[in-house]
């Protein structure tokens, strides 16, 4: 075995030894790394000392979290992050699934009660019975 690969193996071993009992990366960490990346890219366009300081401080904080041995505390932070971002994430997931849905379905509004009704696309002209008020109406184009 070459000296270099021996050295690399040792380095890897030392690193995994070093990481034992340390926190590592969680969802909050991944989110913040993404944020740091955005800041670095932004830094190419806006050269501002404050931006640099914030980026560096954030990187230091992220390393501190990764190497932290206070796992309970870090876990708690991550839970807080997941809790507070829940509505936000749900909002975007909803928007995304709504957009996906529009590709496969039409959304029609009942003229009587304004109830929204999903009808699969490609059905041509259809008579729709409103599930709420039982009003019947026709929608869609003739083929
Ligand atoms: Zn209706």
Q: What is the pLDDT of residue 87?
A: 85
Residue 107 Cα to ligand 1 midpoint, Å, equals 13
CA pair distance 59, 65, nearest whole angstrom: 10
Distance 115 CA to ligand 1 centre (A): 5
First to last CA, the chain: 73
Look over the chain and give the mean of its residue pLDDT values, rounded to a whole number.
Answer: 91
Distance (Å) from CA 95 to ligand 1 centroid: 24
Contact 107, 115 (CB under 8 A): no
- Judge whether residue 143 has pLDDT over 70: no
**pLDDT of 131 higher than 80:** yes
Residue 123 has a CB neighbour count (10 Å cut-off) of: 11
Domain edges within the chain: 3-104
Ligand 1 centroid, distance to 140 Cα (angstroms): 17
For 73-116, how does the pLDDT look when each residue is reduced to its tens digit (9 = 90+)?
A: 999 999 999 999 988 888 888 888 888 888 899 999 999 999 99
Ion ligand 1: residues, Cβ under 5 Å: 110, 112-113, 115, 130, 132-133, 135
């Amino acid at each position: 075995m070459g000296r270099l690969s021996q050295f690399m193996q040792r380095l890897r071993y030392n690193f995994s030894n070093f990481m034992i009992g340390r926190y590592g990366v969680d969802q909050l960490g991944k989110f913040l790394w993404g944020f740091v990346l955005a800041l670095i890219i932004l830094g190419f366009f806006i050269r501002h000392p404050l931006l640099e300081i914030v980026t560096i401080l954030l990187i230091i904080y992220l390393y501190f979290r990764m190497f932290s041995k206070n796992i309970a505390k870090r876990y708690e932070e991550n839970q807080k992050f997941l809790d507070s971002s829940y509505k936000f994430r749900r909002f975007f997931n909803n928007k995304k699934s709504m957009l996906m849905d529009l590709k496969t379905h039409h959304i029609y509004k009942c003229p009587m009660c304004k109830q929204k009704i999903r009808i699969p696309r490609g059905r041509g002209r259809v008579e729709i019975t409103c599930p709420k008020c039982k009003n019947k109406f026709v929608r869609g184009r003739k083929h």
